[in-house]
A and B are shown apart, each in its own frame.
Chain A
Amino acid sequence: DIQMTQSPSAMSASVGDRVTITCQASQDISNNLAWFQQKPGKVPKRLIYGASTLQGGVPSRFSGSGSGTEFTLTISSLQPEDFATYHCLQHNSFPITFGQGTRLEIK
């Protein structure tokens, strides 16, 4: 099974900060990785697919990079609406696996 190690599990940041969240896969997953944002009580919303392709309608301050085993989600300048939990997902092979999630809080 492919393990997805996401870090950090939680972090605090200020509006305007640049934030980076990482996911490490235990095996090569090519670019079969997606990033989701989830706000409390809401359905996860896809931000990035194919490791680096921005979902339509998602602000350009979000970006994804990486391939193989190392992946990064970057928010270039945090906005108040970005405080949420972020999840990575590998869909390269079964069982499909999510990272543990990163809770992004206001400092």
Chain B
Amino acid sequence: EIQLLESGGGLVQQGGSLRLSCAVSGLTFANFAMSWVRQAPGKGLEWVATVTGSGSATYYADSVKGRFTISRDNSKNTLYLQMITLRAEDTAMYYCAKDRADSDFWGQGTLVTVSS
């Protein structure tokens, strides 16, 4: 059974940093791209970033480029999202998802709240 489990969310002050993790099990992790998707309270879904299976290529939404870094450790079957210079508008539930977020495998989400 494929499972994705996010952690690392919490309350952080504006301008602060946070690192999210997503532990993946039940598949050959290195074979698949992985993505982060977020959803602000009461809003729609927003793709944040994708990393290829090897980690050699990364892609970002303009809204986070230069502030967020997606990475992975294939030896630990774990996906990361390093977030710096956080803004109030980054407040959201953050989901990790297999592939380009087009898959049926998403985590339960971790909530990030940025306070001013």
Looking at the assembled complex, report how far the CB atom of A97 sits from the nearest CB atom of chain B, in whole angstroms.
7
A51-107 CB contacts (< 8 Å) to partner B: 55, 87, 89, 91, 94-101
Closest residue of chain A to B104 (Cβ to Cβ) is A46
Q: Which of B59, B95, B102, B106 contacts A95 (CB 8 A)?
A: B59
Task: Give the chain B neighbours of A44 by CB distance below 8 A.
Answer: 45, 95, 106
* A18 interfacial contact with B, CB 8 Å: no
Q: In the assembled complex, which residues on chain A have CB atoms less than 8 Å from the CB atom of B59?
A: 94-96
A87 and B101 contacting across the interface, CB-CB below 8 Å: no
Contact B47 A98 (CB under 8 A): yes
Asked, given contacts A43-B95, A87-B44, A101-B45, whether A96 binds B107 with beta carbons under 8 Å apart, the answer is no
Is residue B88 contacting chain A, with contact meaning CB distance below 8 A?
Answer: no
Q: Give the number of residues in B that approach A within 8 Å (Cβ atoms).
A: 21
B19 on the A face (CB < 8 A): no
- Please give, as numbers and ranges, the residues of chain A lying within 8 Å of B109 by CB-CB distance: 43
> How many residues from A make CB contacts under 8 Å with B?
21
Q: What separation, in Å, do the CA atoms of A49 and B106 have in the docked complex? A: 15
CB distance from B57 to the nearest CB of A (A): 10
> Which listed residue, A55, A91, A100, A101, touches B101 by the CB 8 Å rule?
A91
How long is the Cα–Cα vector from A75 to B95 in the complex, in angstroms? 27
List B contacts of A36 (CB < 8 A): 45
**B47 adjacent to A96 (CB under 8 Å):** yes
Contact of A91 among B44, B45, B62, B100 (CB under 8 A): B100
- Give the residues in chain B near A87, CB-CB below 8 Å: 44-45
| Contacts from A to B (Cβ < 8 Å) | 32, 34, 36, 38, 43-46, 49, 55, 87, 89, 91, 94-101
Q: Contacts A43-B109, A87-B45 known; list 15 others, CB within 8 Å.
A: A32-B102, A34-B102, A43-B95, A43-B106, A44-B106, A55-B104, A89-B102, A95-B62, A96-B35, A96-B50, A96-B59, A98-B44, A98-B47, A100-B44, A101-B45
